[in-house]
Structure 1
């Protein structure tokens, strides 16, 4: 059948096409002109019926004649559209009723895309045409009934096309005339109800879930892709959609506990989309939803910790007082998940509430505490928040025998040497406030503040020398500044740099190195390197400054001598004056 419909003209033995005059009347909706053409045909032509569906034994097979069929209407356009397809897609309801009367065999016709007349009317949103065609199809035989439920090449029914194009009026007409159409799905297993909820059309959802006149509940299907239901997508959308489905009795409330292929319930979807009002509604209807975990063992509490909503966390905890017992397949509680996903707001919220103390030092299956994970993933902000909490222990050892400072050192060695690298910042933070001892390749080391007094004094002495060097370099720069840019003897003199200028440059560079190297945030090896460079530049600057002063003093003495010589000469040569 599909092969018969795949080529133009596979609708009759003579592959008739619609005449230009008839096409103009159909597309323009000119009923008077169409009636005149059909009247002329009735006087000159006989009636014959043609199988327009290609459903016979071979393409174009002739079906038994039907009384009243007009031969002129049995042609097709180039894409296989019949006269009814053309008027249905353009919304000409009167012409559709007339053609259904004159050529009833066209009611079940399908074009090259396997679209029925209802597909065209539904896609264009013409409710009156859809009602006319629905009436004609329901009054027909088995062939028309099959066309009512037919799918096109995209696997979509006519009702699915109406929902997909947002034609609420057509959906209402379908559900009034044939509510059983809502029980079907497309080839991907997506129901019309799931689609209507996903595009957030309240009107279409109400039409699909409306009870029939005899009081029977709607037969609508609720299935969606990957095992999800309409309730899953409603929980991700808004509270109104959830209420619409909950009002669908008795099917709606049962969807609350259904899970998708990954094991997620509608509550998981609500928390993942930050829908606090939906979370409150779902928990008020079914509080046990908070205890449903997915295939990875993740409860809604884990999911909300990953997205970072503290208000939803408080709402879930009110319905589940043993939240500290809820761990996933890796033994992690929701604080572990918040740390791994860098949700510092959640971590801060937990650290500020004493009721969460049991979570702070809990270990997962690998023996890692939340602080271990913060160190491993390099989250300085979270490490700081946890260390500020007095109940957090830094001496806990994981399965690999590592404390948090051990783990920090391990991550530091595998990272970069950049001083703003997150793992380096974490290590420095733990190094100054962590456990008294840590191990590096089996050697036990002491913390900085627990080292012998001689080392501390040496460090203080180094800081004092740095301050002294900074003061000296600043004084040199101050003294040399004016002389370096004063003419004569400015920045360039006699095609070579002035000594004052060189003293000024050396002192400025040395000052910069000393300030940078004096910062506590700089790694110790970097500090010592810059201090050594500065200690070499300061003496050079002093030497250039002394040379400049010596040169200046030399010039002054030369001028004084010259003045004395001139005075003596004048006294000798001009005795009478």
Structure 2
């Protein structure tokens, strides 16, 4: 423990057991402790800063100008080896406060000294000084040790403190922020889970109307929001839009999730019976009003957010400001090109049937397809026919959409997109059955083709159906059916 000490006015230079120099900043405990005090012996002050402890000196009498004890110094500077002798000599120092109301646990947590914090808790338990209530001790700013660990981003220390007393997670400080609020705002999902495990139905809301859900949504921490929303039966008020409102703008968690384009969170909240979809913020906007802003300059996540609200039957008070732009004319052209290509491919497939034709002059069915009685061939013909004619209809509808008639354009595009989805599905199905038919003599290969094709078709429907179905559904059964493919699409595209 004893070292060769070299001193300077503001730092202490020490030589460790490996013979290497290390620098310790003695201003760590308090910037106000820069000068020596008559209450703390100068030699004791220098020794404690380098991790030494002098014997035959009354430790109780050693106080800095900020009333820091030797245990405060040991906790702040990370001298875990001094905790045991100090507490054995003066156990009352464990809960002694300095001029700012900090005990040694506060300084250890703020400094991020995990080993020292563990030593403090371990020795306090051995000496009968510790109880979970100790972690509720507050300084003058009403910060607990857990608050200080969170402020300094020492999350490993925070987990240790939560395991000792989870209820401190809900305690607000002078800024009305609980450690749980701070963990949610920082996106520490694992820490939030630890905090929630043992607090039951405790009030998790910070004061002034700010909830943990609001904090997580503002910080775009989707995982934390989902943790609260999916498990809100521990926490019944966490996600109820009619009870949790932001006092500054009158926005509910659903408003905030919509503005942040958290499609997954919006989807979960809209299917909660306790969430009121009709609430407006202070600007008179519903959640669907927010989602519908600037529809032609929206990200895909915003589109999914908008769909989730529409499928749930959320009301819209503002009419959407539709307009045609050159950008959308380009999109129409792209869709028209796609429809034309599908029509071309399916037309060609109609004259190049799998298996070919009967060409023998003495055959009674000369010129007929050789596999016409096969079920797979019949599926191929039907799929190819549907794909061709639906693509032709799409092409005509898209030509109408470019006639600069707003209503006609909107009507055309709403019809064209579902039909294009049908056309793509039928082309995929036709290809699958045609290939499996011509390799049917190799059973395993035909089965593999069918399996791959079926999975691809299912994926296509999951992706396309939510985007091509009517935007507003009044039938609850249809909403319920579309709820699942939309959720799968959200999961597939989530960042």
User: What is the TM-score with the length of structure 2 in the denominator?
Assistant: 0.51
Partner residue in 2 for 1:389: 406
Partner residue in 1 for 2:45: 23
CA RMSD of aligned residues (A): 4.0
Q: Does residue 1:123 correspond to 2:110, yes or no?
A: yes
Q: Is 1:245–1:253's contact at 8 Å kept on the other side of the alignment?
A: no
Q: Is 2:132–2:165's contact at 8 Å kept on the other side of the alignment?
A: no
**What are the superposed Cα offsets for residues 107-135 of structure 1, whole Å, 9 maximum, x if unpaired?**
12222322221211111122332234345
Q: Residue 241 of structure 1: which of 214, 224, 244 is its match?
A: 224
**What are the superposed Cα offsets for residues 198-223 of structure 1, whole Å, 9 maximum, x if unpaired?**
11112321221223xxxxx4476522
Partner residue in 1 for 2:158: 171
The 1:247/1:76 distance shift into structure 2, 3 A limit, reads farther
Q: Is 2:60–2:90's contact at 8 Å kept on the other side of the alignment?
A: yes
SS at match of 1:254: coil
Partner residue in 2 for 1:227: 209
Partner residue in 2 for 1:50: none
The 1:276/1:152 distance shift into structure 2, 3 A limit, reads same
Counterpart Cα distance in 2 of 1:221 and 1:98:
40
Partner residue in 2 for 1:435: none
Counterpart Cα distance in 1 of 2:270 and 2:132:
44
Q: Does residue 1:259 correspond to 2:252, yes or no?
A: no
Q: Is 1:271–1:312's contact at 8 Å kept on the other side of the alignment?
A: yes
Counterpart Cα distance in 2 of 1:122 and 1:179:
16
Counterpart Cα distance in 2 of 1:96 and 1:252:
40
Structure of higher CA gyration radius: 1
Aligned-residue offset at 1:136: 5.9
> After the TM superposition, which residues 82-97 of structure 1 pair with which residues of structure 2 at under 5 Å, given as runs?
82-97=69-84
Aligned-residue offset at 1:245: 2.4
Q: Does residue 1:317 correspond to 2:331, yes or no?
A: no
> After the TM superposition, which residues 160-559 of structure 1 pair with which residues of structure 2 at under 5 Å, given as runs?
160-211=147-198, 217-218=199-200, 221-224=203-206, 226-236=208-218, 237-246=220-229, 248=231, 250-257=233-240, 258-261=244-247, 262-285=249-272, 288-306=275-293, 308=295, 309-320=302-313, 323=315, 326-327=316-317, 333=318, 335=320, 388-390=405-407
Counterpart Cα distance in 1 of 2:96 and 2:144:
15
Q: Is 1:163–1:204's contact at 8 Å kept on the other side of the alignment?
A: no
SS at match of 2:292: helix
User: What is the TM-score with the length of structure 1 in the denominator?
Assistant: 0.44
Counterpart Cα distance in 1 of 2:156 and 2:268:
30
Q: Is 1:238–1:278's contact at 8 Å kept on the other side of the alignment?
A: no
Q: Is 2:48–2:70's contact at 8 Å kept on the other side of the alignment?
A: yes
The 1:260/1:23 distance shift into structure 2, 3 A limit, reads same
Greater relative contact order (Cα 8 A, min sep 6): structure 1 or 2? 2
**What are the superposed Cα offsets for residues 368-398 of structure 1, whole Å, 9 maximum, x if unpaired?**
xxxxxxxxxxxxxxxxx9x852489xxxxxx
Aligned-residue offset at 1:168: 1.7
Counterpart Cα distance in 1 of 2:90 and 2:119:
14
Q: Is 1:235–1:266's contact at 8 Å kept on the other side of the alignment?
A: yes
SS at match of 2:285: coil
Q: Is 1:75–1:83's contact at 8 Å kept on the other side of the alignment?
A: yes
Structure 2, unmatched stretches of 5+, are 1-29, 296-301, 333-401, 410-495
The 1:334/1:276 distance shift into structure 2, 3 A limit, reads farther
Aligned-residue offset at 1:242: 2.0
The 1:109/1:285 distance shift into structure 2, 3 A limit, reads same
The 1:292/1:315 distance shift into structure 2, 3 A limit, reads same
Aligned-residue offset at 1:317: 0.5
Q: Is 2:39–2:63's contact at 8 Å kept on the other side of the alignment?
A: yes
Counterpart Cα distance in 2 of 1:118 and 1:139:
16
Bigger shift: residues 145-154 or 161-170: 145-154
SS at match of 2:107: helix
The 1:94/1:122 distance shift into structure 2, 3 A limit, reads same
The 1:319/1:89 distance shift into structure 2, 3 A limit, reads same
Higher helix share: 1
Q: Is 1:224–1:230's contact at 8 Å kept on the other side of the alignment?
A: yes
Bigger shift: residues 15-24 or 73-82: 15-24
**What are the superposed Cα offsets for residues 525-562 of structure 1, whole Å, 9 maximum, x if unpaired?**
xxxxxxxxxxxxxxxxxxxxxxxxxxxxxxxxxxxxxx
Partner residue in 1 for 2:363: none
**What are the superposed Cα offsets for residues 66-109 of structure 1, whole Å, 9 maximum, x if unpaired?**
xxxxx235312233321111111122223112211111121122
Aligned-residue offset at 1:272: 0.9
Bigger shift: residues 270-279 or 224-233: 224-233
Partner residue in 2 for 1:427: none
Q: Does residue 1:98 correspond to 2:82, yes or no?
A: no
**What are the superposed Cα offsets for residues 384-423 of structure 1, whole Å, 9 maximum, x if unpaired?**
x9x852489xxxxxxxxxxxxxxxxxxxxxxxxxxxxxxx
SS at match of 1:274: coil
SS at match of 2:251: coil
The 1:178/1:147 distance shift into structure 2, 3 A limit, reads closer
Aligned-residue offset at 1:292: 3.1
